Amino acid sequence: MIDFVIKRLLLALPVMAVVSFVVFSLLLLSPTNPAAVIAGDYATPQAIAEIRAKMGFDQPLIVQYGKWAQQLLHGNLGVSVYENRPVIDMIAERAEPTVSLAICVVLVTLFAVPLGVISSWWAGRPIDRLVMAFAAIGTATPIFLFAYLLIGLFSTKLKLFPTYGFTSITAGVGPFLSHIALPTLTAGIAYGALVARVSRSSMLEVLNQDYMRTAKAKGLSVHKMIFRHALPNCAIPIVTVIGTRFAALLGGIVVTETVFAIPGIGRLCVDAILHGDYPVVQGVIIVVSLVYILVNLAMDLIYPLIDPRVRAS
Amino acid sequence: MKFRFAKVLHRPTMIAAAVVIVIIVLATLSASWVATADALALSAKERLRAPSAQHLFGTDMLGRDVFSRTLHGGRISLTIGLCVGVIATLAGLVIGLIAGFVRWTDMILMRIVDGLQAIPAILLAIAIAALAGGGIYSVILAITIAETPLVVRLVRSMVLTIREEPYIEAARSMAVPAWDIMFRHVIPNMAGALIVQATYICGVTILFEAYLSFLGAGISPETPSWGNIMAEGRNVALLAPWVVMFPGICVALIVLAFNELGDGLQDHLDPRIRKSL
């Protein structure tokens, strides 16, 4: 197992190297001079040149990348151009809302698994069509449309939840849940729709297997058939999609944070992109990609636990 | 790759999807004639009017007719969808073929693909679009870079399967050149799956354009697109929901139609690789 983890971590290294190179290369696309941004609107050309030399922007790109990557390996994500603070501190400050939202969305998404199971069990029936319609609409509709529908109904009309903002769980479970409920539903619809579709299709595949027919012929109860034979055999595709689409979930969270004015990492990144605060953009993308890689590593480690055949191989 | 029209008739949702796409495409193409007002004309006294016979989709905060803007905006959104669908599929095809056929490039290209896929597509697209300066070309470039890795992975996996087939071995033993094998045997065998993938990408791109504009990194507000009409309606979404809702429904309808068309085409063109997602 330890060998496997080490091997997977080693495989992640070139991926992180590519991510870092892509993130660094984004600077090349920018029409604005980072030194000019740092120097401010009224800076003289001489001041800009000085900052350029001081920051190393006048050096060859490969040298700049080498220095930047070296800092990165020491955990230094640089300093924000606008706030003049370490990027790592800014990300740490904004992590709680994003992590809370991501965990809540994943928890809510788990409800999509039984939806997919029900749908596959009654495949072709009205309940199946209903679930599949939800899945189709969930994946096709811009999530901010759901956000405004939910805000209009639950905040404006029924006044059940606040319209925007975030409250830490340390301030009490009640306020935390009331603030996070609508963002969770918003970001969870698209992700849940996907999980419901995958659960249905992998469950359908398992239900058509010979051993399921045998189980039915033996007179096994529906409960045992599903929980003992079907679900464990279709768990891997479901876990895989939860892991591989985690990046999509993070994307959804960016939009959700914007609609609900949640001060999270996604919002930090979008603001930084729009202001041209490159160190923050680079830092956030690096951290988010690292999280994605670690989540996928965790998924790989879960496989042997849910399917003994993987352990054997 | 055979397309049987009779089989299509057994899947009414696919016909409905095709009809929706045709209607929306025709409506946007004929926007200059169908639109009830000038999409850019401002009118202070017509601000935030609810949908009525005069303004079918209401008006926005600058008094512009949302119906006309939605029709004109559809042109931009559909153009971006189509361009990214074609460019990402072709780029993915070329890179995937190289990765699948030229073995020493496989490791390098696939690590690049892994790296690109580790970055949330929305963040990557926003960063590219915003840093490249906004505008339609930046948006197309941004979404193409975010979508191409998926196609590369698909093409590479198909090449690895197809290249082991007996007919490829037979062609090789007859000294057929590699490029000939690629164009005569490999690409035709992937055409169905690629058409399906391009269809999905068109849908996803239209959704992406909406997100980019919504977050302020898409097309500039002077040119209406479904995304920036909704972005402009953000601040009045609760007061005048029609500004966001109608273009949003158009986005949902067309994406739904592209997805359904993709599912249907998958079943008809390439039943071996049935879509599991």
**Contact at CB, B130 and A137, closer than 8 angstroms:** no
- The tens digit of pLDDT for each residue in A99-110 reads 999 999 989 988
Within 10 angstroms of residue A2's Cβ, the number of other Cβ atoms is: 6
Where are the domains positioned within chain B?
Answer: 75-274
Q: Give the mean model confidence (pLDDT) for residues A62-84.
A: 88
DSSP string, chain B: ----HHHHTT-HHHHHHHHHHHHHHHHHHTHHHH-SS-TT---GGGTTPPS-SSSTT-B-TT--BHHHHHHHHHHHHHHHHHHHHHHHHHHHHHHHHHHHHSHHHHHHHHHHHHHHHHS-HHHHHHHHHHHTTSSHHHHHHHHHHHHHHHHHHHHHHHHHHHTTSHHHHHHHHTT--HHHHIIIIIHHHHHHHHHHHHHHHHHHHHHHHHHHHHTT-SS-TTS--HHHHHHHTGGGTTT-THHHHHHHHHHHHHHHHHHHHHHHHHHHH-GGG----
* Contact flag A19-B127 (C-beta cutoff 8 Å): no
CATH, range B75-274? 1.10.3720.10
Q: In this structure, which amino acid lies at residue A96?
A: E
- What is the overall mean pLDDT for chain A? 86
Which domains, from first to last, does chain A contain?
A: 2-76 (no CATH), 94-262+306-312 (1.10.3720.10)
Mean pLDDT by 10 residues, chain B (277 residues): 60 88 94 81 82 88 90 93 96 94 89 88 84 83 92 92 89 89 89 90 92 86 87 86 92 93 78 45
Distance, in Å, from the CA atom of A225 to the CA atom of A217, rounded to the nearest integer, reads 11
Residue type, B49: R
Class of residue A250 by CB neighbours under 10 A (exposed 0-12, middle 13-18, buried 19+): buried
Query: B120 vs A292: CB contact, 8 Å cut-off?
Result: yes
Whole-model pTM above 0.95? no
Residues 171-230 of B with CB under 8 A from A: 203, 207, 210-211, 214-217, 230
Q: How confident is the model at residue A304 (pLDDT cuts 50, 70, 90)?
A: confident
Contact between chains at B121 and A251 (C-beta distance less than 8 A): yes
Mean pLDDT calculated for residue range A241-247: 76
Interface test with chain A among B119, B245, B251, by most A beta carbons within 10 Å: B119
Per-residue pLDDT band at A52 (split at 50, 70, 90): confident
Q: What are phi and psi of A123, to 5 degrees?
A: -55, 135
3-state SS, one letter per residue, for B114-142: HHHHHCCHHHHHHHHHHHCCCCHHHHHHH
| Whole-number pLDDT of residue B276 | 39
Is residue B117 within 8 A of residue A247, CB to CB? The reply is yes
% chain A with pLDDT above 90: 31
How do residues A11-29 score in pLDDT, each as one tens digit? 888 888 889 988 888 877 6
Is A135 within 8 Å of chain B by CB?
no
pLDDT digits over A177-227, tens only? 999 999 999 999 988 998 998 899 888 888 888 988 898 899 888 888 888
Task: Provide the shortest C-alpha distance from residue B171 to chain A (in Å).
Answer: 35
